[in-house]
Amino acid sequence: MSGREREESELRRCVWGSTVVLALFAALVPGVSAQAAPERRATPLPLERLFDNMAVSDDARPSEGNFDGSGASLSARDLAAAGWTPGRALTVQGARLTWPKRQPGEPDNVRAEGQEVRVRGRGDALAFLVASTDGTDAGGTGTVRYMDGTWSAYRLTAPDWRTGPLATKAVALPHINTPAGQLAERARLYVVTVPLSPGRQVASVRLPHATGLHVFALAVRSPAPGWTGSWTAATGGHPTVGPWTDRTLRLVVHASAGGPRVRLRFDNTFASAPVRIGSATVAVQQTGAAARGTPAPVTFGGAAGVVIPAGAQAYSDPLDFDVPADTNLLVSFHLPGTVPAAPVHRLAQQRSYVSGPGDHTADGSATPYGTVLTSWPLLTGVDVGGGPGSVVLLGDSITDGDKSTVDANRRWPNVLATRLLNQAEVPHYGVLNQGISGNRVVSDRYPGDGVSTDTAGVSALYRFDRDVLAQTSARTAVVFEGINDVRAQTTAEQVIAGLREIADRGHARGLRMLAATLLPCEGEARCTAAVDAERAEINAWIRTAGVFDGVLDFDAVVRDPARPSRMLPAYDSGDHLHPGDAGLAALASAVDLRALVP
């Protein structure tokens, strides 16, 4: 039996034994829950009262830190350059975490040994800022105690600070300090979330017993009640841009759901340095870069602008602004500093605009905006007040809208959103398009760190937490990926394993999980007969395995009955891989809207 199996067996034994005793007691004494906390617990303390390890050192005094037990540590200078300064609040994956307010050489994290941590809040997930120093993943099982006396178990695993995947890190630093000198080696820190019991108020959290697992911060992620996600774009990479200095970007985005209030989300994903937004506005598009009326300013914590640390995100304050459903918006933001590279969603299929020098966020006319932009940098979300929640579509270029008409919003998610608005049988959900052109289920195209020309994103497995679980008001997710995997010689077995893991992770967070079958692509250079056989195996599994809560059989919608390995010519964009406007509309029209309801 492995160490993990022994640990989980012991936890089950303790929980079972305690629960039996409590159940017998509950039968005799009314009002006692059999789900009450399974064991006697120490008095919870704030996390900072438990700090017992020094992870950060001054570059001039590296021996003051000893993160890994061998004298290695994080560079305080590198952390400051990334915007991770002592006491700084960082929002990552929708959770607000605080980097420890400690000076270099002071205890700034706790080694997980079953400590009881005082935590308060009600939400969908518990977020941990963590790293392992074991040379590999470190993890274990802990428990959450709720104010009503009930409890739940969780499994926390932290990747290693020197060898863990860059694709899932919150931030990477360029150096590691040692007593013998500084190493040009990347140090990683991670934000990991685990599910909470819905609707219950957290009282405390017991950390796992896990050698090498270090916890810097933890917090409850609130589910943003009163908001519906209306528009999103998934970050696919961190390419060079501009460079932009003292420029205003005016991005054109298409709202699905409407509402009387709005808030914006900006993500500095994959970055190594902070980015400053000087000011921002929102407006309804008139035409091109011209606004209908005067753009309305948004604020960030009451300020006109915000500095977003590397790897973090920023939400604007709620703004009373009527967002019409199924309508283009103009989101404008001024970049006062120099931005040579930025997190980007490359394939917008929508023209946006860059101004000449100056802050032109308040300008309603198109005159200052002389340069066309075909990507969406930094902006990742638009939420609206009220509404029933959102459906998240996790996909590749077909969901991203590749080969659809530019500026026309004819991606299949757009058509689906319009269908939802024009009926009364199911709620008018927001539709969040998290497609990335070139994306795969089980392998990364973008390595997850540094400046790169590849913007096809990290794998669906790696981005699922950020691009689905952390999205505003997500109720249902549709997974429509895998064709790029098999075209790149990934086996059907590997793709199926990845899809199964995604379904399991979504179910653990209470999402309704749907899967779409992969489209035929005979005639495209890499869609060989062998690839089609792998595709058929994946589709057969999606249809029959029962792992997902429902199936959208997109293959059956667009395939040629006379030759099922190819797309109907009427639906083919011409490249035999991507449907054109008619094919994308056919996909959206085939969705049973009742299947979207949790």
Q: What is the pLDDT of residue 30?
A: 30
**Which residue segment(s) compose the domain that 85 sits in?**
41-221
Q: What is the pLDDT of residue 456?
A: 98
Residue 29 shares a structural domain with residue 72: no
Q: What is the pLDDT of residue 5?
A: 41
Q: Tell me how far apart the alpha carbons of residues 208 and 508 are, in angstroms, rounded to a whole number.
A: 19
Give me the mean pLDDT over the 583-587 stretch: 98
Q: What is the pLDDT of residue 27?
A: 32
**Domain-ending residue, one of 380, 401, 436:** 380
Structural domains in the chain (count): 4
Residue 327 shares a structural domain with residue 206: no
Q: Tell me how far apart the alpha carbons of residues 338 and 502 are, in angstroms, rounded to a whole number.
A: 38
CATH of the domain at 499: 3.40.50.1110
Residue 7 shares a structural domain with residue 63: no
Residue 345 Cα distances to 18, 88, 93, angstroms? 50, 27, 17
Residue 394 shares a structural domain with residue 529: yes
Residue 449 shares a structural domain with residue 367: no
Residue 425 binned pLDDT confidence (cut-offs 50, 70, 90): very high
Please check whether residue 586 lies inside any domain of the structure.
yes
Q: What is the pLDDT of residue 223?
A: 80
Q: What is the pLDDT of residue 20?
A: 31
Residue 2 binned pLDDT confidence (cut-offs 50, 70, 90): very low
Instruction: Supply 363's token pair.
Output: 């300008």
User: Is the distance from CB of 420 to CB of 426 less than 8 angstroms?
Assistant: yes
For 407-418, write each residue's pLDDT tens digit.
Answer: 999 999 999 999
Out of 10-19, 213-222, 461-470, 560-569, least confident range: 10-19
For 451-504, write each residue's pLDDT tens digit.
Answer: 999 999 999 999 999 999 999 999 999 999 999 999 999 999 999 999 999 999
pLDDT of 22 over the 60 cut:
no
SS3 content of the chain, % helix, strand, coil (to 5): 20, 40, 40
CB atoms within 10 A of CB 406: 12
In the chain, pLDDT over 90 holds for what percent of residues?
A: 92
Residue 282 shares a structural domain with residue 213: no
Please check whether residue 230 lies inside any domain of the structure.
no
Q: What is the pLDDT of residue 90?
A: 97
pLDDT of 34 over the 60 cut:
no
**Domain-ending residue, one of 333, 359, 380:** 380
**Domain-ending residue, one of 192, 221, 250:** 221
pLDDT of 156 over the 50 cut:
yes
Residue 45 shares a structural domain with residue 174: yes
pLDDT of 276 over the 80 cut:
yes
- How does the average pLDDT of the chain come out, rounded? 93
Q: Tell me how far apart the alpha carbons of residues 564 and 558 are, in angstroms, rounded to a whole number.
A: 9
Q: What is the pLDDT of residue 40?
A: 59
Out of 7-21, 30-44, 421-435, least confident range: 7-21
Sign of CA dihedral 513, 542, 516, 445: positive
Residue 338 shares a structural domain with residue 190: no
Whole-prediction pTM value? 0.92
Please check whether residue 228 lies inside any domain of the structure.
no
Residue 296 binned pLDDT confidence (cut-offs 50, 70, 90): very high
Q: What is the pLDDT of residue 204?
A: 98
For 351-395, write each residue's pLDDT tens digit.
Answer: 999 999 999 999 999 999 999 999 999 999 999 999 999 999 999
User: Is the distance from CB of 256 to CB of 417 less than 8 angstroms?
Assistant: yes
pLDDT of 126 over the 60 cut:
yes
Please check whether residue 299 lies inside any domain of the structure.
yes
Write the burial class of residue 182 (CB in 10 Å: 0-12 exposed, 13-18 middle, 19+ buried). Answer: middle
Q: What is the pLDDT of residue 41?
A: 65
